[in-house]
Amino acid sequence: MTPARRPMFGEQQRFMLLLIAPAALLLGLFQVVPIVIGANASFRDWALYNPKKTWVGLDHYKAVITDPAFLEVVLPNTFIFMVASVIGALTLGLGLALLLNRPFRGQKIVQTVLMVPLMVAPVIAAIMMRWMFNDQFGIVNAVLEGLGLEGQPWLVERWSAFGIIVLTDVWLWTPWFTLLLLAGLQSLPKEPFEAAAIDGTSAWRVFSHLTLPMLQPVIVVCVVIRAIDAFRTFDIVWTLTGGGPGRSTELFSLYAYVLAFLNLDLGRGSAAAIVGGLIILVVGIGLYRLVDRVTKT
């Protein structure tokens, strides 16, 4: 804002600082301070039975990045989950947004129904799925058996359990994409579409040559936000499988949690939390560059 009169020196700076002071203070106390203390803990033997909290240097980091469970299970799981759940929710969300972006009778009701998963807590969604996919009493197996097929022990095998985790996440987050993409669709200019309609362009060409390119900035922003959030998914895994069978469906957040609070090794848990934080930071900065480039062109 250009000041109307030349302000007293520092007046504008004071106003700016006061505006962000409460937010900065909270951010400092509840995110920066814990991260610093966690970094300190990650270099120490910070277990309950060791009151001295001996300095161990990089031992915890070495242990984490050479842990086969981390390298071969947790990291691949986390990235597969991220990609699968974002692609699933984006595709479905875009489809539903296109569907809702035309007037039809009952559109308001349909829109409300499609937004339902947005209100459901991930923990509740996981409970619902766990119940539906219960191997003895779940409706999914009941239907399969009704069709003459065999029921599956869904949550007892690695990839079916993993698939259910992805399915739950896609169910939860599709409306989020629908909502933002629908808002994006409705703010697109009308003229190009009218011109295409006059030329008799096919629906697919309109979609791939007009809608998709014009919607690209919104899509990229949605994907980046969601991908970063998918990396930290915890609730649904915890409630659906607890990381099992064995540790085969653990994602990064659960891995750090298990180290710190179930194995009671707070030092190594902190190291794992920092390793994961650094990984997503690199990914996040890369994605930010992408957003910057897409929104500027």
Partner 1 sequence: MAMVRTPLMFARLPIGGRRLLFGLAITGICLAVAFPVLWLILTSLRPESGVYYVHRGTEFTLASYAEVLLDERLIQAFVNSALISTLATIFSLLVTVSSGYMLSRFRGPAAQTWFGTIYVFRCVPYISWVLPLYFVAQSWGIYDTYIGLLLPHIAVHICFFSWLMKGFFDGIDPSMEHAALIDGCTRWGAFIRVALPSAIPAISALAVLCWLFTWNEFLFALILTGNKVPVITVVMAQFVTEMGLRWNLMAATAVMALVPAFLLALFGQKYVIRGLRI
By beta-carbon proximity to partner 1, the closer residue of 157 and 194 is 194
Which position among 89, 114, 164, 166 is part of the footprint of partner 1 (CB under 8 A)? 114
In angstroms, give the least distance from the CB of 240 to partner 1: 9
Write down how long the chain is.
Answer: 297
Of 34 and 76, CB closest to partner 1? 34
Q: Give the residue with the Cβ less far from partner 1, 125 or 161.
A: 125
Q: Which 214-273 positions form the footprint of partner 1 (CB under 8 A)? A: 228, 231-232, 234-235, 238-239, 252-253, 256-257, 260-261, 266, 269-270, 273
**Interface stretch with partner 1, choices 54-62, 81-89, 157-165, 190-198 (CB under 8 A):** 190-198
- In one letter, which amino acid is 281? L
DSSP string across 175-244: HHHHHHHHHHHHTS-SHHHHHHHHHT--HHHHIIIIIHHHHHHHHHHHHHHHHHHHHT--HHHHHHTTT-
**CA separation for the pair 257, 14 (Å, rounded):** 41
Q: Between residues 87 and 206, which has the closer beta carbon with respect to partner 1? A: 206
Structure token digits, residue 226: 């969601």
CB atoms within 10 A of CB 227: 20
164 binds partner 1 (CB under 8 A): no
Among 50, 186, 263, 295, binds partner 1 (CB under 8 A): 186
246/294 Cα distance (integer angstroms)? 42
Single residue of 8, 9, 68, 119 touching partner 1 by CB under 8 A:
119
Residue 200 zone, left/alpha/beta (φ > 0; ψ -120 to 50; rest): left
Least separation in angstroms between residue 297's CB and partner 1 is 19
List the one residue from 120, 144, 220, 294 that touches partner 1 (CB under 8 A): 120
Q: Which of 116, 149, 156, 264 binds partner 1 (CB under 8 A)?
A: 116
Q: Verify binding: residue 281, partner 1, rule CB under 8 A.
A: yes
Are 255 and 69 in contact, with CB atoms under 8 Å apart? yes
Q: How far is the CB of 250 from partner 1 (least distance, A)?
A: 12
CB of 242 to partner 1, least distance (A): 8
| In contact, 207 and 188? CB cutoff 8 Å | no
Which conformational region is residue 10 in: left (phi greater than 0), alpha (psi within -120 to 50 degrees), or beta? left
Work out whether 65 is an interface residue with partner 1 (CB under 8 A).
no
